[in-house]
Amino acid sequence: MKNFWNKDLNFDEIKSNFAKDGKVRVNKVLDFEFAALSFQALNERVEFDTAMFVDGKNAVMSKKEWTELEDTQRQQIYFNLMENAAMGNGFSYGRKYITAEEKDPFLLNFYKIVNSKELLDVVSNITGINDINYASMQATKYIPGQFLTRHRDDVQSEGRKLAYVFNLSPEWHPDWGGLLQFFKEDGETLESWTPSFNTLSLFDVKHIHSVTYLTPFAKKPRYALTGWFGTR
Ligand SMILES: O=C(O)CCC(=O)C(=O)O
Ligand SMILES: [Fe+2]
Domain spans of the chain, in order of start:
11-46+96-230
pLDDT the model gives residue 104: 98
Residues 149 and 210: beta-carbon distance below 8 Å = yes
Asked if residue 1 has pLDDT above 80, the reply is no
d(CA 71, ligand 2 centre) in Å: 31
For residue range 119-141, list pLDDT tens digits in order: 999 999 999 999 999 999 999 99
| Alpha carbon nearest to ligand 1 atom 7, residue | 210
- Report whether residue 84 contacts ligand 1, using a CB cutoff of 6 Å: no
Mean pLDDT of 40-67: 95
> Rounded CA gap, 181 and 225, in Å?
17
- Report whether residue 139 contacts ligand 1, using a CB cutoff of 6 Å: no
Could you give the 3-state DSSP secondary structure of residue 88?
coil
> Which ligand 1 atom is at minimum distance from the Cα of 224?
1
pLDDT the model gives residue 156: 87
Residues 147 and 219: beta-carbon distance below 8 Å = no
> Rounded CA gap, 222 and 19, in Å?
28
pLDDT the model gives residue 55: 87
Q: Which helix (H) or strand (E) holds 208?
A: strand 208-211
Could you give the 3-state DSSP secondary structure of residue 101?
coil
pLDDT the model gives residue 190: 97
C-alpha distances (whole Å) from 165 to each of 81, 93, 218 are 24, 15, 20
Question: Could you confirm whether domain 11-46+96-230 is CATH 2.60.120.620?
Answer: yes
Return the percentage of the chain with pLDDT > 70, whole number.
Answer: 99
Asked if residue 2 has pLDDT above 90, the reply is no
DSSP state of 30: B
Asked if residue 176 has pLDDT above 80, the reply is yes
Mean pLDDT of 10-17: 98
Residues 36 and 97: beta-carbon distance below 8 Å = no
Q: Which residues pair with 30 in a beta bridge?
A: 5
